Amino acid sequence: MLELNTFSITARCGKTGQLGVAVSTKLPAVGMLCPFVKAGTGAIATQSFVNPYIGIRGLEYLSLGMTAEEAKEKIIAEEQDLELRQFAIVDRHGNTAAFSGERCEGYYNHFEGDGFVVAGNMLVNEKTLTDMKRTYEIHSDLELSERLLRVLQAGQRAGGDKRGKQSAALKVYDTEDYPLVDLRVDEHEDPVAELTRVYDVTREELFPFMPQMPTKQDPGGSFNPDEV
């Protein structure tokens, strides 16, 4: 059973409705198994002794109109080895729900805020989560992707995973079925710093072209080859 001892933030932007997850851990490729996001539906982080189907099924339940709390209760009712799981849910309206099983390792906890949840297990200390919560709350002026990245940075500075650092991921959806931001550092000695570097490069070289992409409202998009 794979144990993702992880710190994460799951959130909805109250201004734009964007949904996202940022996460880091001391195992490779955390972005493969932990963050699950669907536009207009919700965002879920599943961690500790990770079960990706919590994210998969959870998004299905949210897409049926369940609230975050209703989806949480359904997951709890059907989940095996529940005491080993940790997960956080934010629905499309910004309602939150979270669960931390009694057999999560080391220091573990979760804190819910206005439209967001910070959660972690096998952490150096509680400060990892309290600093993450505070950082999200004081940076309401930032767009969601950068706000989530600041939160991840704060968690790492405060201590993060007590075993060390290896991977990090940032995933944000806006209105389309494809992501607005989907960045991963799968194996690095300082993954949050590397994720920040990759984000800065992407912001300069890719994000300016995102408004030209095909959308549900404009299937052809507005791409201009002369601007490349």
The two tokens of residue 4 are: 């993702």
pTM (global) more than 0.85: yes
Residue whose C-alpha is closest to residue 96's, from 178, 23, 11: 11
Maximal C-alpha separation, the chain = 57
Per-residue model confidence (pLDDT) at position 223: 64
Contact 24, 160 (CB under 8 A): yes
Which residues pair with residue 89 across a beta bridge? 44, 97
DSSP characters over 70-111:
HHHHHHHHH-TTGGGEEEEEEETTS-EEEEE-TT--SEEEEE
Of the pLDDT bands very low, low, confident and very high (cuts 50, 70, 90), residue 105 is confident
pLDDT in tens, 122-171: 998 899 999 999 999 999 999 999 999 999 999 999 886 667 689 999 99
Residue 109 and residue 111: Cα distance in Å, rounded? 7
Residue 9 and residue 129: Cα distance in Å, rounded? 9
Domain 3-227: CATH class, spelled out? alpha beta
Q: Which amino acid is at 104?
A: C
Cα 145–chain centre separation: 10
Residue 87 and residue 48: Cα distance in Å, rounded? 8
174 vs 165, residue with greater confidence: 174
Which residues pair with residue 117 across a beta bridge? 10, 112
Residues 173, 174, 175, 179, CA torsion sign: negative
The mean pLDDT value for 36-49 works out to 97
DSSP characters over 130-156:
HHHHHHHHHTTTS-HHHHHHHHHHHHH
Q: Which amino acid is at 99?
A: F
Q: Is the pLDDT of residue 224 over 70?
A: no
